A and B are shown apart, each in its own frame.
Chain A
């Protein structure tokens, strides 16, 4: 399937998965560098979280407006039955991606009592589940539904 034939929602899923992956990469690059400088796990840094959220919001708004502008009326059309099913399935599966690190973080906290690490792992889980949701959507669009 070429880019022209690709459904609008699959294009947005590709765009959002790339944007979220970049955001997660930059966020954790900062967290790791601060942790190295401190010699222990960095505490939750609100400025990094705000920077991450602003990056995602601004980048996705720009990319979505470009995609929406090129998609014409397809961008305004509500999701059809197959697309709704794809979004439901992807949303359901991504819940497991969130649950796995959350459970891991709880066990880590129970063993080591490191609340900072608990925060970072859960935040990573949130990022991964969002990325996974879009990746699952892409896979389901490719499979047919």
Chain B
């Protein structure tokens, strides 16, 4: 099994803070599939810089408020 990338995220927490936004709604907003949002949330996939910025814009915060180096 491949080692997961050492990048943590607060996407789940931020979704909950934004009216329990669904994974599907976030996926639609950033232009990826729901399964990709799930993979990002679980830390199994590191998104591109573009998607990372798109996610942070959806939540109205900075990239470093969503992602962290663990």
Which residues of A line the B interface, CB within 8 A? 5, 7, 74, 77, 80-83, 141, 143-145
Contacts and interface: CB of A to CB of B under 8 A. Distances in A.
B7 interface: no
Contact of A83 (B36, B47, B50): B36
8 contacts: A7-B33, A80-B31, A80-B32, A81-B36, A81-B48, A81-B50, A83-B36, A143-B1
Contacts of A83: 33, 36
Counting contact residues on chain B (CB < 8 A from A), the size range is 10 to 19
A23 to B, nearest CB: 28
Contact of A145 (B1, B45, B50): B45
Contact of B44 (A7, A74, A81, A143): A143
B45 to A, nearest CB: 4
A74 B35 CA distance: 11
Contacts of B32: 80-82
A77 B51 CA distance: 17
B39 A81 contact: no
A80 B42 CA distance: 18
Interface of B: 1-2, 4, 31-33, 35-36, 39, 42, 44-45, 47-48, 50-51
Given A81-B47, A81-B51, A82-B45, A143 B2 contact: yes
Contacts of B51: 81
Closest 7 pairs between A and B when the two form their complex, measured CB to CB = A144-B44, A145-B45, A80-B32, A144-B39, A82-B36, A7-B35, A144-B45
A144 B31 contact: no
Given A143-B1, A143-B2, A145-B39, A80 B33 contact: yes
A39 to B, nearest CB: 48
A99 B32 CA distance: 34
